[in-house]
Amino acid sequence: MNEDEKRAAFETEALVHMDAVYRFALRLAGDPDQANDLVQDTFMRAWNSWDQYEEGTRAKSWLFTICRNVFLRMVERSKRHQTTVETKAPREAMPSGGNIVNPIWTSTSQKDPEGDFFDSIVDEEVLRAIDDLPEEYRTAVMMSDIEGLPYAEIAEATEVPVGTVKSRLFRGRRQLQKVLYEYAVEMGYLDPRPTTANERGEG
Contact residues: other proteins, CB under 8 A: 3, 7, 10, 15, 18-19, 21-23, 26-27, 32, 35-36, 39-40, 43-44, 47-48, 97, 100-102, 104-105, 108-109, 113-116, 118-119, 121, 123, 126-127, 130, 141-142, 144-146, 148, 150-151, 166, 169-170, 173, 176-177, 180
CA distance 57 to 65: 14
Give me the least distance between CB of 82 and other proteins, in Å please: 26
Give me the least distance between CB of 56 and other proteins, in Å please: 20
Pick between residue 82 and residue 113 the one whose CB is nearest to other proteins: 113
Taken in order 77, 78, 82, 86, the sign of the CA dihedral is negative
Pick between residue 26 and residue 75 the one whose CB is nearest to other proteins: 26
Pick between residue 81 and residue 128 the one whose CB is nearest to other proteins: 128
Give me the least distance between CB of 52 and other proteins, in Å please: 16
Pick between residue 81 and residue 94 the one whose CB is nearest to other proteins: 94
Task: With H, G, I as helix, E, B as strand and everything else as coil, classify residue 109.
Answer: coil
Q: Is 59 exposed, middle or buried (0-12, 13-18, 19+ CB in 10 A)?
A: buried
CA distance 154 to 164: 10
Give me the least distance between CB of 32 and other proteins, in Å please: 8
Pick between residue 41 and residue 75 the one whose CB is nearest to other proteins: 41
Pick between residue 79 and residue 201 the one whose CB is nearest to other proteins: 201
Task: With H, G, I as helix, E, B as strand and everything else as coil, classify residue 6.
Answer: helix
DSSP 10-71: HHHHTGGGHHHHHHHHHHHHSSHHHHHHHHHHHHHHHHHTGGGS-TTS-HHHHHHHHHHHHH
Asked whether the beta carbons of 84 and 104 are under 8 A apart, the reply is no
Give me the least distance between CB of 191 and other proteins, in Å please: 17
Give me the least distance between CB of 18 and other proteins, in Å please: 5
Which among 92, 68, 84 is positioned nearest to 167, based on CA atoms?
Answer: 92
Give the CB-side neighbour count of residue 151, counting CA atoms within 13 A: 10
